[in-house]
Amino acid sequence: MSDKKKAKAKGEQLKGKAKEAVGRITDDEHMTTEGRAERIKGDVREAEEKTRDTLES
């Protein structure tokens, strides 16, 4: 996995987790859902890159 793509995936995961937490604290369902979507997007991006690395090996 390239360092740039790995950092982007981790950034999305962290940003999503933060939004989820803020959404829960403020009882903002929209923000919680938005954060969950961002976190999942980061998870998928990370899995995609790991799969790509495995196939290239």
Burial class (CB in 10 A: 0-12, 13-18, 19+), 35: buried
- How do the domains of the chain map onto residue ranges? 2-56
Tell me the HSE value of 8 on the side-chain side, using a 13 A CA sphere: 11
pLDDT of 1-24, one tens digit each? 578 888 999 999 999 999 999 999
Say yes or no to pLDDT of 57 above 90.
no
pLDDT at 48: 92
Q: What is the pTM of this model?
A: 0.83
